[in-house]
Amino acid sequence: MTVHVVGAGVAGMVAALMLARAGHAVTLHDAAPVAGGRCRALPDGTDNGTHVLMGANRAALRFLDAIGARDGWIEPEPDGLPLFDLADGTARRIAASPRAWRDPARRPPGLSAGGVLALLGMASGITDRPVATAMAKHPALLRGFVEPLTVAALNTPVAQASSARLGQVLRRLGGAGAARLLVAREGLGPNLIAPALAALAQAGVALRLGARLRALTTAEGRAVALHIGQDSLAVAAGDAIILALPPWEAARLILGLRVPDDHAPILNLHFARPGAGPVRFVGLLGGLVQWVLVRPGGISVTVSAADAEAEEPVDSLAPRAWAEIRQAARAFALPGDWAQAPPPCRAVKERRATPRHGVGFPPVAPRLPLRNLALAGDWTWGGLPATIEAAALSGEAAAKAVARQARRPGAA
Ligand SMILES: Cc1cc2nc3c(=O)[nH]c(=O)nc-3n(C[C@H](O)[C@H](O)[C@H](O)COP(=O)(O)OP(=O)(O)OC[C@H]3O[C@@H](n4cnc5c(N)ncnc54)[C@H](O)[C@@H]3O)c2cc1C
């Protein structure tokens, strides 16, 4: 079988590698000049945004294993996540795993029996309401644990975020090692994209960058031609297509497809301050900065659900962020020089970083909207918020779906 995978983000790369290693002829097309999609390295080597994986992200870790990149993802804070509260200067380490909460030193602030019940209620997913409402009786736990987790995982403020969606995340944090937090030691380029491209090339995948799928011709429930750039490719009987595209592109190409249409931005600030290491990852509460990743190559700040901040110029964001980071650096004795003046800073604003995960689930897209065409992409995986894990799971599912179709006599 020949398979055209369109979209070389995580979902497309996962699908292409699986199918090529299963012996199919695979071409991977992407409109952009580089692979990686929303999880990519910029031309100067900076990550488009800090990407964090959890131990629970089995499909993402499987892909890292498959491309030989697992060792590049390290756990910077094995003793618990450092969290600095700008409101009162409190510095504590908390564990994301309920297993570790037996140790009072690593419990989230405000944890009580009632708070645990509220977390279990969200994890059950029986009702769906705003996270802030579900946690209204536990304001300290909301502020010191649930809110940073929600904003990071759902890219949505707690006043709107879906408690049932957050429950999908909470349910996964209980397993052994599930709450280990991992980051790329050097960056997405060396620790994800380069090894992925090497593995794809070795598996025989033909990569076509700068190749935008303009349109799709269908007939009798099948895709029969792809119009990519200036070319039109006929899709032979028995061949298949995977569209691993963002929702707005999938909806443009497949008429009638219902997709999430409300997206939220993520802002990243990258300070060019070389450090001596080790890699550190610190959370902040009550200010602009939500997470700080300190690597030898520089310091990266993440602001999720950044609707207001995405409109603010870097000249005003950088000094505000730097003043906050210096306080956290002092509190956690982060190594290196933390001079008062901010180092040179660039802002990367991903305006449609992920769908906004408000109350109420969008309709789940069909995996096979056409007999020989499967959909992939983080938004197609109903069991998780839009993350690398959801993208990887969707890529695996799409690869299996087209392989299964190909085995059905006369199906495609
Ligand atoms: C700043 C930021 C921080 C994030 N942080 C995290 C994190 O910490 N942890 C986590 O798990 N997730 C995080 N995410 C989410 C994660 O990046 C995404 O869930 C994941 O990368 C989505 O992968 P995908 O393959 O589904 O889609 P995409 O990465 O969007 O891939 C789609 C691809 O399709 C291509 N394309 C679009 N239109 C066409 C067309 N017509 N023809 C051909 N190609 C086309 C695009 O160029 C792109 O390469 C973050 C996202 C952002 C933006």
135-156: pLDDT as tens digits: 999 999 999 999 999 999 999 9
Which atom in ligand 1 lies closest to the alpha carbon of residue 353? Answer: 53
Q: How far is the CA of 390 from the centre of ligand 1 (A)?
A: 11
Amino acid at 14: V
Question: Does 275 have pLDDT greater than 90?
Answer: no
Task: State how far the Cα of 6 lies from the Cα of 254, in Å rounded to an integer.
Answer: 13
Q: What backbone torsions phi and psi does residue 38 show, to the nearest 5 degrees?
A: -80, 5
Q: Looking at residue 49, what DSSP letter applies?
A: S
Which residues does 14 contact at the CB level (< 8 Å), separation at least 6? 59, 63, 376, 391, 392, 395, 396, 399
Cβ atoms < 10 Å from Cβ of 127 = 13
Ligand 1 pocket list (CB less than 6 A): 6-12, 29-32, 37-39, 48-49, 51-52, 212-213, 244-246, 249, 266, 268, 350, 353-354, 377-378, 386-389, 391
Beta strands in 89-211 (DSSP E): 91-94, 181-184, 206-209
DSSP-assigned states of every residue in 371-387: TTEEEESGGG-TTS-SS
Q: How far is the CA of 244 from the centre of ligand 1 (A)?
A: 9
272, 298 in Cβ contact below 8 A? yes
For 48-89, what is each residue's pLDDT tens digit?
A: 999 999 999 999 999 999 999 999 999 999 999 999 999 999
Q: How far is the CA of 297 from the centre of ligand 1 (A)?
A: 23
Question: Does 299 have pLDDT greater than 80?
Answer: yes
Domains of the chain: 2-47+187-261+360-407 (3.50.50.60), 96-178 (no CATH), 262-355 (3.90.660.10)
Considering just the CA atoms, what is the radius of gyration of the chain in Å? 22
**Helix (H, G, I), strand (E, B), or coil: what is residue 346?**
strand
For position 411, what pLDDT does the model report? 57
Question: Does 277 have pLDDT greater than 70?
Answer: yes
For 301-338, what is each residue's pLDDT tens digit?
A: 999 999 999 999 999 999 999 999 999 999 999 988 89
Higher pLDDT, 411 or 188: 188
**Which token pair is 183?**
């980051």
* H or E element at residue 149: helix 147-154
For position 176, what pLDDT does the model report? 87
What's the farthest any 2 CA atoms get from each other in the chain?
Answer: 69
Instruction: Tell me the CB-side half-sphere exposure of residue 357, using CA atoms within 13 A.
Output: 30
For position 410, what pLDDT does the model report? 62
For position 329, what pLDDT does the model report? 95
Q: What distance lies between CA 48 and its chain's CA centroid?
A: 12
Task: State how far the Cα of 385 lies from the Cα of 356, in Å rounded to an integer.
Answer: 9
For position 335, what pLDDT does the model report? 86
The residue-averaged pLDDT of 17-37 equals 98
For position 398, what pLDDT does the model report? 98
Q: Looking at residue 311, what DSSP letter applies?
A: G
The residue-averaged pLDDT of 24-36 equals 98
Mutation test of ligand 1: which of 39, 188, 379 has the most ligand atoms closer than 8 Å to its C-beta? 39
Task: State how far the Cα of 113 lies from the Cα of 396, in Å rounded to an integer.
Answer: 39
Q: How far is the CA of 377 from the centre of ligand 1 (A)?
A: 8
Question: Does 200 have pLDDT greater than 80?
Answer: yes
Task: State how far the Cα of 3 lies from the Cα of 320, in Å rounded to an integer.
Answer: 49
Q: What backbone torsions phi and psi does residue 234 show, to the nearest 5 degrees?
A: -75, 140
For 91-113, what is each residue's pLDDT tens digit?
A: 999 998 888 998 999 999 999 99
The residue whose CA is least distant from atom 19 of ligand 1 is 387
pLDDT level of residue 409 (50, 70, 90 thresholds): low
276, 57 in Cβ contact below 8 A? no
Prediction pTM value: 0.97
